[in-house]
Structure 1
Amino acid sequence: MDASTGRTADDSAAHVIVGASLAGARAARTLREEGYQGPLVLIGDESELPYERPPLSKGYLQGKDPREKIYVNPAAWYQEQRIDLRLGTAVTALDPAAHLVTLADGSTQRYAKLLLTCGASPRRLPVPGADLPGVHYLRRVEDADRLRELFTTARRIVVIGAGWIGLETTAAAPAAGVEVTVLEAAELPLLRVLGREVAEVFADLHRANGVDLRFGVQVESIVERGGAVAGVRLADRTEVPAEAVLLGIGAAPNTALAEAAGLTVADGVVTDQALRTSDPDVFAAGDVASAFHPLLRRHLRVEHWANALNQSQSAALAMLGREVSYDRTPYFYTDQYDLGMEYTGYVEPDGYDRVVFRGDPATREFLAFWLADGRVLAGMNVNIWDVTDAIRELVRSGRQVDPAALADPARPLTEL
């Protein structure tokens, strides 16, 4: 193969990307920008142009951002770049030995290199009533459209799950005059991600905005009356009234295609640090990939915008035969009410021994750092900006830091 162009000995075979998402579109762009001039096919089962998902629970859901703003590229760009964009087309099978993908209409597409950016799907709640018409999920743009309409008609909704999707959707509802009750099995929102110390901040935030938070509860069923959602029944027989329910209990990677093809799968399609799967000509990136992270020395699957954006570009380079070691520090952000936050790093539940605050969390303008053995594993800036690079450097350095200096606003982070 010519590493500069990505061409193989068989020029009739294309570079194929399965998943017309942010990750898929960014990978296609990188392939072209890095000199690949061969046939390039981008296949997606949605009818929409590739788009970014964060606005679906933020600006677009709230009606602040126009629809055009969610798209990664305009339609004309794909034509200009000679990308064969096939929307509304599902891939039903992958044959690594034959280098073929099979489409839902029975046709096949040969590939020289294949990238899986299949994403993830919302986890379903296995309780009676979960399939009622008034039960919603938020993953695709049509889901956000339905929720936007719901916010104009409903007075009371229940959100099941106090993760990022659940809380961001909850934050959008009160501004539309909708009363929200959040039901969460854990003791606090985002407890596995942030730990008790910082999770309390988000609990206080939503309570201050009139949200009814109920923790440590188990959902028994979704109540139906007259063919419509009427509420949610809990295990203690309490019934919470609602005109609609949003389920936000996490997402599962779309690995069925990879599993059926015999690729290694374990909480995602397993890849090495170059995003290469157990088949040397198949790569994976974004929500579907469980990639080896050389800095963290473990496989990691990250369901956040920055990972889809950056990991897909590295996968594209690897498809071209370049030396790649994807080691970017995990990063995500959220906007809820008047709170804006960025989080950099990675901490497993109970994987830290202390949290150090710089500033007062009660003011919702502070930094928080998760430490283990004096080393910063992750940092979060809340309503304080332009510090992400310094936090990332602390995380990546692995050096021990004096907690008192970390907490002192007079000490620049760059000097620690």
Structure 2
Amino acid sequence: MVSKQAGVDYTETFSPVVKMTTIRTLISIVVKQGWKIYQLDVNNAFLHGDLHEEVYMDAPQGLAVASSRLVCKLKKSLYGLKQASRQWYDKLTEALHSRGFEHSVEDYSLFYKKSANSSVYVAVYVDDIVLTGTNLVEINNLKSFLHDTFKIKDLGQLHYFLGFELLYREDGVLISQRKFTTELLKEFECLSYTAVTAPLECNLKLQAAEGPLTDPTHYRKLVGKLNFLTHTRMDIAYSVQHLSQFMQDPREPHLKATIHVLRYLKNDPILGIFISNVPDFNLRAYCDSDWAACPDTRKSVSGYIVMLGDSPISWKSKKQATVSLSSAEAEYRSIRMVVGELIWLRRILIEFNVPCDTLTHVYCDSQAAVHIARNPVFHERTKHIEVDCHFVRNSLQDGSITLPCFHY
């Protein structure tokens, strides 16, 4: 393939993929509603995309041409093209639209088709497709249509998806990444190490400028895989967030800390999340912050978890963008982050026909932060906080959330 230049041979290469939070939410609703959920795989997905630009390639080996200066003009997408995944997504979108499916406004890789008494949902992650809903006839018709159009492989009931392993039980579904975790321990030669009971050592505060590391790519590869593992292991979310901030210039103590995380995973590689089939669709969230946790920048770290009934569907640990001048401000910013996630989740639940009539309880252990949200009064402690943080007050006043007193 000849060299391609951005803006000349291609423009956009990004292909939308479904969010992992959307997948967890979808599985939770399927389990609670008692729906069937299926997985499809598209054979040679990238070969189905149509090209809108003029793209040329060198003649492949074994093809006799009259001159070495002759090239081939591509009419269809090809593996190796930077825009191949994007063109495949456009082709699939066109096919689904022809069947009456619409894009979700909240997640552009989620499609749905609704009528008065049925609903069908399609979640797309490149060439992996998850299909579920209430209308089995429409689901089977869609399978046949996609097979005739793209030659799909019907993998049956969803059991293994993007490293997620689903174990169906009478009371719900257990989601883990057991195979991925085991292969990760084997790849980094940690199977013989002694297991530990905590993902990081107590009171560990890593700094940027410490002992040098000879091979930074080894560290980056490991942290990248640990980050993927947080999709089912919320217990390592804070540790991976802490280690991810040293990706640009990792040092020896940082690598030792990542090995410590692997030793923790060795303690229970099967651990995951459990999705209960109890038909409870009430959202509730817990948030907290670690004030001035970063020793280099003195920025705080926020963390939250969102539950749908008794099932965890969303969680995150993230360093705050600005320095908080007090622990109350750090906690308030933590509430702001989780409320933003809750507003998005409430909207996507409506698309799944799940009513969100009840208030969403947000639990925070800082009474000062709760008082800031409840009382719209600017004073010395809050006048410097950005306006976007104060949409927590708006959500509280319009009845989307409530901030009950939280006691340990």
Higher strand share: 1
Larger Rg: 2
Q: Establish whether TM, by shorter chain, passes 0.5.
A: no
If the length of structure 2 is used for normalisation, what is the TM-score? 0.27
Could you say which structure has the higher helix fraction? 2
- What TM-score results when the alignment is normalised by the length of structure 1? 0.26
